[in-house]
């Protein structure tokens, strides 16, 4: 859908250096298990030079040996050449090899005559608040060009509103000199819903970063300055890919504040009866999202924390709801697809005119 690689690394393909070719020749022509020290040095230095614009502390190097060699020859090469190369790179790059979680992976492909490398993404975790009812959580990519830019989207690749994703991602992309970014939110709120309280958890993934040790406090200040009055972030820390999954699977109760308008005057006594009440709501997938979601019935608990009449036909309410309950439909009833709902409980036509998430509770 978007204009970034489908895997979480960037692959910079394609250079063939003289040292590499000569090393390869030495493997072919003097295949005796020993390698020219100066060629190995030259190859390591070429790799170092090519990676000089990237900040990294650890590396992994792999080799794909010529298909024409026998298995015995390959295993000898693996033992002799690969081992010597790791040692050489360690001293030339002045970085440690890391076999499980390297910042950079280098592959020497003797068949394609290429040296490829992949830069591991940088992950940043934190919480965001959203104070605007005109900001989406994620970028809405142009459905015609899928983000590449076309006449329909005036070459922007996206449609519509500003997003939390961009307001956080762009300053981070600049600071880390990343090629692109991906935003992973722990759930989402609608465009017209503010995210208040302690905010919502997210992980920002920076792809192909040239810097990986940038100051997160500086980033936080920068985001909060440029996105002032729209969004803010706090508690930024370095994170990892595993946290993206954990965050996505988190099922937290949420506290909402809603302003509800009614078609008929509200009876205060009826309103007060609802305080402290708790229900298991049966909710059929709302009509407004049914095009994008499968039509299921869900059961979610909800509790009325407090309620306050504001005017003849308006009241405000704080509810505590289980993850996955659609609040707007719990208010209006969604043609009775959500049961019970405020409209049925108050025997009135209710609609949610303003909604805020005021707290996401720890599961």
The torsion of the CA quartet 81, 83, 87, 93, rounded to 10 degrees, works out to 70
Site string for Zn ion, 106-145 (x = CB under 5 A): ------------------------------------x-xx
Distance CA 157, CA 177 (A): 21
What 8-state DSSP symbol labels residue 90? I
233 binds Zn ion (CB under 5 A): no
- Is 98 annotated in the active site? no
Rounded to the nearest whole angstrom, what is the least distance from the CB of residue 181 to Zn ion in the complex? 20
Rounded to the nearest whole angstrom, what is the least distance from the CB of residue 165 to Zn ion in the complex? 18
Site string for Zn ion, 47-86 (x = CB under 5 A): ----------------------------------------
> Collapsing DSSP states into helix, strand and coil, what is residue 146?
coil
Cβ-based nearer residue to Zn ion, 142 or 281: 142
Cis bond leading into 105, ω under 30°? no
Strand partners, 30: none
Find tokens 């025997």 and name the residue: 347
Rounded to the nearest whole angstrom, what is the least distance from the CB of residue 139 to Zn ion in the complex? 12
Where in 41-98 does DSSP place strands (E)?
58-64, 96-97
For residue 360 the two structure tokens come to 């996401």
Residue 29: count other Cβ atoms within 10 Å of its Cβ. 8
Cβ-based nearer residue to Zn ion, 56 or 141: 141
Cβ-based nearer residue to Zn ion, 84 or 150: 150
What 8-state DSSP symbol labels residue 316? E
Catalytic residue among 72, 98, 109, 190: 190
Cβ-based nearer residue to Zn ion, 2 or 211: 2
Q: Residue 101: which of 120, 123, 125 has the closest Cα?
A: 120
Cβ-based nearer residue to Zn ion, 144 or 251: 144
Q: Strand 58-64 relative to strand 314-321: parallel, antiparallel, unpaired?
A: unpaired
Q: Which of residues 141-170 bind Zn ion (CB under 5 A)?
A: 142, 144-145, 150, 152-153
Rounded to the nearest whole angstrom, what is the least distance from the CB of residue 182 to Zn ion in the complex? 19
Rounded to the nearest whole angstrom, what is the least distance from the CB of residue 22 to Zn ion in the complex? 48
Residues at the contact surface with Zn ion, assessed by CB under 5 A:
142, 144-145, 150, 152-153
Q: Which residues are catalytic?
A: 190
């Amino acid at each position: 859908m978007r204009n970034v690689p489908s895997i979480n690394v960037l692959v910079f393909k394609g250079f063939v250096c003289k040292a590499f070719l000569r090393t390869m020749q030495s493997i072919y022509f003097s295949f005796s298990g020993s390698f020219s020290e100066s060629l190995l040095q030259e190859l390591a230095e070429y790799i170092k030079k090519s990676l000089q614009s990237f900040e990294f502390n650890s590396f992994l190097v792999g080799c794909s040996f010529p298909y024409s060699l026998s298995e015995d020859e390959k295993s000898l090469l693996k033992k002799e050449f690969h081992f010597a190369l790791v040692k050489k790179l360690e001293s030339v790059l002045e970085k440690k090899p890391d076999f499980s979680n390297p910042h950079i992976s280098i592959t020497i492909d003797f068949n394609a005559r290429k040296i490829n490398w992949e830069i591991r993404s940088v992950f940043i975790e934190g919480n965001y608040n959203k104070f605007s009812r005109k900001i989406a959580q994620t970028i809405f990519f142009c459905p015609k060009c899928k983000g590449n830019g076309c006449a329909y989207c005036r070459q922007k690749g996206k449609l519509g509103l500003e997003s939390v994703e961009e307001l956080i991602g762009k300053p981070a992309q600049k600071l880390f000199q990343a090629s692109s970014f991906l935003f992973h939110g722990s759930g989402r709120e609608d465009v017209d819903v503010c995210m208040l309280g302690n905010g919502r958890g997210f992980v920002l993934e920076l792809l192909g970063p040239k810097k990986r040790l940038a100051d997160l406090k500086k980033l936080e200040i920068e985001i909060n300055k440029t996105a002032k009055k729209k969004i803010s972030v706090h508690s930024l820390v370095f994170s990892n890919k595993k946290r993206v999954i954990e965050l996505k699977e988190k099922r937290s109760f949420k506290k909402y504040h809603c302003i509800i308008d009614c078609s008929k005057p509200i009876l205060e006594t009826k309103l007060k009866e609802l305080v402290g009440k708790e229900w298991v709501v049966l909710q059929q997938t709302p009509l407004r999202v049914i095009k994008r979601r499968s039509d299921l019935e869900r059961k979610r608990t909800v509790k009325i924390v407090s309620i306050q009449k504001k005017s003849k036909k308006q009241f405000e309410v704080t509810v505590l709801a289980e993850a996955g309950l659609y609040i707007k439909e719990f208010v209006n009833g969604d043609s009775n697809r959500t049961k019970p709902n405020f409209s049925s409980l108050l025997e009135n036509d209710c609609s949610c005119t303003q909604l805020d998430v005021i707290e996401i509770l720890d599961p």
